[in-house]
Amino acid sequence: MINEKANLEYIDQLTDLRIAYLTEDHGHLTEEEKVRISYSLPDYYRKHLNNDLFVYISRAESEIVSCCFLLVTEKPANPDFLNGKTGTILNVYTKPEHRHQGYAKELIEMMLDDARQMNLDFVELKATEDGYGLYKKVGFKDTVSKYHDMKYVL
């Protein structure tokens, strides 16, 4: 298995893996959702891949079997992130027939090494029950905040 950062050559597979991840995560995607997401992702990858989005992949030959995304965000510095740069892990996904072989763990460790090199203040994620143990194993800690997660849907 080869572990590396993805490049534009893998846009189609990254799109398919994102749809597979979202389908598992949400339980179901409508055909309209799949079409709209699949249509928008290639352009997104062309704009962001290896700029502020880093995608780590495990592949056998040309087939990607596992991936995880690191979205780097730069914000005005404050006491919680003095460098102003943070990372968010998204889309940790391994094809079902390749799970429990350590691919996601290897990719996350590779990603965290790069995050240190990029001088990020921290890397965060939202863990599902399935992924929680893996993230704890590689050193993620539960966070407690005086703030409430909120969003405004437009």
The string of DSSP letters for 103-142 reads HHHHHHHHHHHHHHHTT-S-EE----HHHHHHHHHTT---
Interval 26-46 mean pLDDT? 95
Instruction: Compute the average pLDDT of residues 103-114.
Output: 97
Q: In what order do the strands lie in the sheet with 2-5?
A: 2-5, 53-60, 63-74, 85-94, 123-124
Which class for 33: exposed (0-12), middle (13-18), buried (19 or more C-beta within 10 A)?
middle
pLDDT at 147 over 90: no
Q: What is the value of pTM for the model shown? A: 0.92
Question: Regarding the domain with residue range 2-137, which homologous superfamily does it belong to in the CATH classification?
Answer: Gcn5-related N-acetyltransferase (GNAT) (3.40.630.30)
pLDDT of residue 30: 93
The mean of the pLDDT values for the chain is 94
